[in-house]
Each structure stands twice: as C-alpha cells, then as structure tokens.
Structure 1
C-alpha cells in the first residue's frame, strides 16, 4: 500500500513538472493553433512516455535492442527535464522583476485622457461641412509579439540553451571515463610492511543499455594505469541481466593487481539477479566476498552484502564476515552503502570503503544525496572507524555527471609505524 502511494505521488509530480514545462516553453511562447504550439504539445506528451518507457523496459522484459533504442533519448530527456526546470524556476525571478518594473512605470506615468467627441470644440464651419469620406483601409502589418510574450520567449530560450549546454557537458564528462583520485588513510594496526599498500576502489559502474563494453574498458585501463596492489569493486556493477550485459562486463578479466580483485554486491545487483552476477564475476577472475573475509599478509579484507539483499534473506551479516578474526590485525571492509558505517563501527572495523551515492551525480541532486547518506564523498571518521566514499565510475539513468565527476580512487594505506 505504501509503495503504491509513493508510486502515485512520484508519477503525479513527474506529470506536474511536464505540465509546467509545457506552460512555460509552449503555451506562453506560441500562438494558439499554430504549428509550433501543436508540435510542442505533441512533444509534451511523447517525451514523458519515452522516459517512462526507458525506465521500465528492462523490468518489463523488453528485448535488449529495444532497451538500447529507448535508453539514450529517454534518459537524456530526464536530465534535460531537470535542468529545464531549474532554468525556468530561475526565470520566474526574472519574470517577477520585469512585472514589478512594468507596474511601477505604469503607476508613475501621468494619466492622459483623450477628449471625447462630445467634449471637443466645434465651429460653425465644422458643423456645416460635409462629412469626409474615410480613406480606404490600408492592409495592417503583423502585430509584434507583446512584451509579456517577449519576456516568456527570452526566459524559455535562455533556460533551454543552459539546459542543453549543461547536459552536453555532463554527458561528455561521463563518456570520458573516470579520473583518478588519490587518498591516504592511516591505520593504527597496519604493520610497517604494508605501508603505502594501494587499493583501487571502483564503484557504481552501472553497465546498462547506455553504458556498455567500451565503458568497462575505459575503467579497466584507468585502474591498471595506477598499478594497484588490490582492486575493490564495491557494488552496483550492473543494471540488467547476465545474458544482456555479460559481454559488457568481460573486460574485467583484464584487471591487474598484486593481490587480485574483489567484489561485493550493491542494491542494483539485487534488482538485476545477484546470484547470476556473483557467479559471473567469479568466472571473470573477480572474487566475490559474500559476508566473508580473506586474510591478506598485512591485514584482513572483508565484505558484506548490500542492504537490498535482505529482501532475499541475503543481507549484510557482520558476525559471519568478521567473527573469529584476530582483533590485533587491521580490517578493511567493503560495503556498498555508506549508511552501514555505524554497524561497522560497532564491529571494530578500521576502514570501510563504499560507493552508492555517486556524489549526487547531478547538481542539485547532491543536496538529496547529502540528506540521505552520512558521507556523500570523501573521507570521514565515525568513532573508531574511517569511511571513504567514492563518487563511482559510471552513472545511473541519464549518462550525465554535473558537479560530481566520476572517479576511481586509489586508497593508499599508511602505517603509523613507518
């Protein structure tokens, strides 16, 4: 019942936004009955249907080719919709200022009332003069747009140009691939021999009908250039099934590191069939950590399932992942969602590596991400546990990044004994 209510509210908001866009971009800028008005109205119905189709095609089992056809225009429209909305809301300020200035001028102007025919002076000659034959009417020129329509068109044009430029920049940022970030994390229990141990942290690749094999290859090349000791993939690798996206994940075979590559599930794996992906990444030479740990020479590496796994009775199990270990050794935990850091702190984890937030992916969504996660991006401390959150290497939905560029982070562990 609650889920249905949320769906109705979200769908209602989605339609209300499109109604607003139609009013400001079409109704206020075009003349009734004209071709621009008709074309814009058709687009106002078609674009939200296209976006919804892109979002639902995979869940409804549509052929992968059809998903790819719908995905690019559908997802890009979602990004354009966001920035059109932001631009037009800013334009409301311009509109309000213009109306205020105009009313002020009208109030300050002197009243000029033209004398009526009864009040006008008339001479005797005028009274007896024959009526003049009115000149033939001259064809009128097309009327210029009103001031109100001029302002509406100016605001709509400005918002549209800004939205297109922003989405274009954000798309280019995503398709260029992740940049490398570096962070040093001191661990009190880390032995001197492991000083400067490098973990290449990858999250939120989000292979999909939009981001495919070339996207994976760019990420693998970026990781390998850093020469890591270990690769950690902390969830949300895919948005789809193994038959559809397995070929896109194949380049993960080429990951290179001294101690291998490890993987934990994210919430999107459970939307896509987590069991099949766990088996598949194992075939690619990536080691899944399903509420498990492995003892490396200098510290323990553990991983827990994502919270979304609770719906399949496969949620995070800290007792299983961390129970019975030597507490004198440092432990690094891979967990997709930063919100689990409080559980990690209770279990004595030294460092948690997470993703999930995308750093907000597109401003101003960053504010929503900040409100729902303890840390959106970067390094923070919670009790005795340090948390590092990467912005992720890909993008969910629209392949657009604004104010939160994708990254692969090299986490360099530092020993206090060095």
Structure 2
C-alpha cells in the first residue's frame, strides 16, 4: 500500500508540474530556444531538489546536507504552490483577455506579397520591373541580384509580432510568476525578521485580585532546524524578554533535529528571563527529534519541563501534558497525573501543544489551555485544512468553562514562509473578575 500510495502521489505531482511547465514555459516561448531550455531545466531541477530536501530531513541525513538542500528545496516547494494557484486563477483571465484583444487592433506578421519580389520592387519604384509586376526579361539578370541585396541591407524585414495566443500566454504567465514570487518573498521576509508581539486579556473567574494583570509570554512552534538557527532563536528570546513577562510558556515544537545538531542553535534560550521562570512542554516534532534528550537539554538551559506535571504557583496552578505524538513511545499525555488532586478552588492554566487536547482539559475543569501546533495555517489556504483538523486554528476561544488560546507560532516548518498567518509571540494578561 505504501508503494501504491507513493506511485500515485508521484503521478499527481508529475501531472501538476507538467501543467505548470506547459502554461509558464511551453505556451510562452516559441521553439526550443534558450528561454525554453532554461525554463525546462528549472522545472526539472527544482522538484528534484525539493524531494531531496524532504528525504534528507525525514531520513535524518547529515545535518550539513540538510542545510544545503533546505533553502532551495523548501523555497521551491512554496513557490510551486503559489505558482499553481496563480496559474489556475489565470485560466479565468485568459479567455477574457483574448476576447478583449479581438476587438482591438492587433499587429500580425505581414504576409508575403502574393506576386512575389518583383511586384514589391515595382511598387517601390525600382527600375527594370514593370508596373504589372512581371520582370523585364532583358534587365532581370542584371537587376534581380542587386535588388535583392539592396532590399536585405536597406529595407530589412521586421521581426514577426507574436500571435494573439502567444501574447495572452505571456501576459497571464508573467502575471502569475510575478504574483507567486512576490507572495513568497514577502512571506519569507516576514518569518526571518522574527515574530511580532500580540497582547490578549483573558479573564479568569478563580484568579485572585492580587494576580490581576499577571503576564504570561506564550511562544510555540519555533522550529529551529536546517533553516532557522541560532540567530533566529536569539531574535525570539530578545522579543520575549522585551515584554517583561511574569512567566514564560514554551508550548512545543521547539526543534526539528537532534540535540547534537541543534544544541548550539537552542543555546540562546538560556537567556530567557521572567519573574516566575520559564516552562516547557513537548510538541509532536520533539518526538521526531529525540524528545527525551531535548527535555534534558532545555532543563540545562534553565527551562522547567512539565511532563504530565503540575506546579502550584502563588496565584494559580500551572500544569503541562506531553504531546499526543508521545503515545507511540509510551510518553503520551496523562491528564490525571497532571491534574488530579489539585484544589478546584484555584485557577488552573494548562500547557498542551495541540488544541485538540482541549476536550480532555474541559473534562478536568481546566480554566485556560495554552496551545500552538496549527501555525494559523502558515500558508494560505492551509488555514482551511488546519480548521478541519483542530477545534481552533488561532486566537481565543471557549469550550464549556474552559478557555483555549492558540498561538500561530514564532517560526515555520518546512518553507521559512508564512502567507496569511503572521508569526507571533503572545502576552496573555490574566484578569481577575474580583478586581
């Protein structure tokens, strides 16, 4: 079944790339000239590098190879997506533009004169050619060759204008390529410059008046890896520290790689500063990267892992559960272990990577769950897919007596690009209803 699925997926991808090549390369060029050869090469090398980057990451290839392939491979992946969307949208504009040109003057290649060179020369007043268009038999041997040479040097034929169909293909193809490149460029710049800060006020009925205005900095989905490294981690840390939070919550998907490869990239996390400390729970990507080693690594960096555990803080209980991906190794979430036996009169804030875990949180009477995982969809229209798999894609929502806040995350997985889902670090300001 895996082989069949793989072959089917390969056939679909091949068909999509053939469609893109046809619209962007074949339909916009004439013959196998340099432009078509270069374009075809791009459409062969691009997918090859993309699949190589995917296989290198999934297969845990040497990290230096992953880094070499990641930038071109994953950028080609996201560029392909938006080229496809733009070209499909262009199918609507194509017939409209064609009809518009039908009602406007269109310069086509001038057809050959039906009576040949002699008539053309006569019309231009050359001697030795009769007005009827027939060559003078006596002068033809003397004039024909010189006249042809004169025509080639002094009256060159203009380059043929493109046909209406070729013109339409070039306009639509050029617009599609421009839109896709611009979208990917802006989306990549948005990730690399670092996340912005969001501030959200969340009222909690059980929160004491003394805790009114308590600030929790929530960061998720940093995804340190072959592309986002130490410099990106430093930007995230600086942004968090600038908010001067009371507590920092790192809610999973910190890394995409082993401690050996990414330990130096994660080192700036040791600089995180909050009055009541920094806490960490695992995300699904930690279990692809050696969760046990990363839990110990973040501990050495000064973060406190909450592995199905609870910490009783001054004003509320802070609990954390492992990610669902840990179930395959016997390290899954255990809500009973984290929440059973607590004082129900105290407010409870739960750190859980995936929003879908809110249903268990409701059953255990949690007041507020903080999550990530969705990236807000990361790449439009991925938000629709994320909405189908998660109860909440981004922002604050309520389920029974439990409130759920989902961060869009600080980094990006795969392509270092976000479209329609800007990255964020959220400062949750708790509000007491007694204040």
Q: Residues 256, 143 of structure 1: CA spacing in aligned structure 2 closer, same or farther, 3 A cutoff?
A: same
State the number of aligned residues: 395
Task: Note the C-alpha offset of 1:102.
Answer: 6.4
1:284-325: CA deviation from partner (whole Å, max 9, x where unpaired): 111111111111111111111111111112111111111111
Give, in whole Å, the separation in 2 of the partners of 1:395 and 1:338. 18
Which shows bigger deviation, 199-208 or 65-74? 65-74
Q: Residues 379, 30 of structure 1: CA spacing in aligned structure 2 closer, same or farther, 3 A cutoff?
A: same
Give, in whole Å, the separation in 1 of the partners of 2:184 and 2:349. 37
Q: Where in structure 1 are there 5+ consecutive unaligned residues?
A: 106-129
- Where do 1:158-307 residues align within 5 Å? 158-307=175-324
- Determine if contact 2:354/2:371 at 8 Å carries over to the other structure: yes
Q: 1:385 maps to which residue?
A: 402
Give, in whole Å, the separation in 2 of the partners of 1:331 and 1:15. 51
Task: Note the C-alpha offset of 1:231.
Answer: 0.5
Q: Residues 333, 4 of structure 1: CA spacing in aligned structure 2 closer, same or farther, 3 A cutoff?
A: farther
Q: 1:59 maps to which residue?
A: 58
Q: TM-score of the superposition, structure 2-length normalised?
A: 0.86
Q: Where in structure 2 are there 5+ consecutive unaligned residues?
A: 105-131
- Determine if contact 2:101/2:164 at 8 Å carries over to the other structure: no
Which shows bigger deviation, 3-12 or 350-359? 3-12
Which shows bigger deviation, 398-407 or 4-13? 4-13
Task: Note the C-alpha offset of 1:94.
Answer: 0.9
Q: 2:12 maps to which residue?
A: 13
Q: 2:80 maps to which residue?
A: 81
2:134 matches 1:132: yes
The CA RMSD over aligned residues, in Å, is 2.1
SS at match of 1:182: strand
SS at match of 1:28: helix
Task: Note the C-alpha offset of 1:375.
Answer: 1.0
Give, in whole Å, the separation in 1 of the partners of 2:301 and 2:7. 41
Choose 1 or 2 for highest CA Rg: 2
Q: TM-score of the superposition, structure 1-length normalised?
A: 0.90
Give, in whole Å, the separation in 1 of the partners of 2:320 and 2:60. 31
Task: Note the C-alpha offset of 1:370.
Answer: 2.0
SS at match of 2:294: helix
Give, in whole Å, the separation in 1 of the partners of 2:3 and 2:360. 31
Q: 1:94 maps to which residue?
A: 93
Which shows bigger deviation, 46-55 or 35-44? 35-44
Q: 1:394 maps to which residue?
A: 411
2:377 matches 1:360: yes
1:55-77: CA deviation from partner (whole Å, max 9, x where unpaired): 22123232212211111111111
Give, in whole Å, the separation in 1 of the partners of 2:330 and 2:280. 19
Task: Note the C-alpha offset of 1:85.
Answer: 1.3
